[in-house]
Amino acid sequence: MDKKKVCVSWSGGRDSSLMLYRLLNDPGFEVSCLMTTVNEDTGKVMMHDIPYELLKDQAKSLGIPLRPIWLGSDPANEEYESRMQQAVEELIEDGIALMAFGDLFLEDIRKYREKNLEGTGLSPIFPLWGLTSADSSQAFLDAGFNAAVVCVDGSQLDPSFTGASYTAEFLDSLPEGVDPCGENGEFHTFVYDGPIFKEPVDFRFGSSYVKDGRFWYADILPSMEG
């Protein structure tokens, strides 16, 4: 059976790592690359604020090529659509037919992604779709992944959770109503080790900071030794 080439929408966090884990263990797929939108002004992943250097370290440890899409801090629709179209065309030229997303259950986000790829020749797939957040979070821990919470939405979760390790104890400590996968944007993570990594990604924490008076970040930086 011929494997279908797939590009993974990569944030560097929990959901995309579990999705990649599943794809790599599925004989029907060949993961060709990781694609991430990166802020060209800050050099960090959009929303997660993971430095591009750490993203490259992840990709190196995974052994999978990284394809960044560079965008301004507040790109106009025309700029965004143009750069995304160019990226999609390059994927298709390389024989890639599928784009994988790590969404679990948010219908509006799934429809948005499907609409954006409609007619491009690239089809979206959702390897984690239908998993409950409880099952997804447990599968992530059972597989042996290690992650750190790098961003907390202070309007949904106390900022003291910023910088925490994503563990069973962390999940047990979450207030009622907070999704254990952060699916509603309560928090974002950086995955630095697990069964798909050849070696752990070295990093350190700098000073924390706040954006828009709402989003609290544990400044995550490449290891000084690296």
User: Tell me: the pLDDT tens digits for 80-110?
Assistant: 778 888 888 888 888 899 989 888 877 778 8
34 in Cβ contact with 17 (< 8 Å): no
pLDDT at 55 over 90: yes
What is the per-residue pLDDT across 57-69, written as a single tens digit (0 to 9) for each?
999 999 999 999 8
Domain limits, the chain = 4-125, 133-222
Q: Residue 40 has what pLDDT?
A: 87
Cα separation, 73 vs 70, in Å, equals 10
CA 14 from chain centre, in angstroms, equals 7
Q: 226 falls in which pLDDT band (50, 70, 90)?
A: very low
Q: Residue 1: what pLDDT?
A: 59
**Mean pLDDT within 20-49:** 91
Angle between helices 14-24 and 133-143 (to 10 degrees): 70
pLDDT band at 163 (very low <50, low <70, confident <90, very high): very high
The confidence score (pLDDT) of residue 85 equals 83
Residue 224 has pLDDT above 70, yes or no: no
Fold of 4-125: Rossmann fold (3.40.50)
SS (H, E, C) 17-78: HHHHHHHHCCCCEEEEEEEEEEECCCCEECCCCCEHHHHHHHHHHHCCCEEEEEECCCCCHH
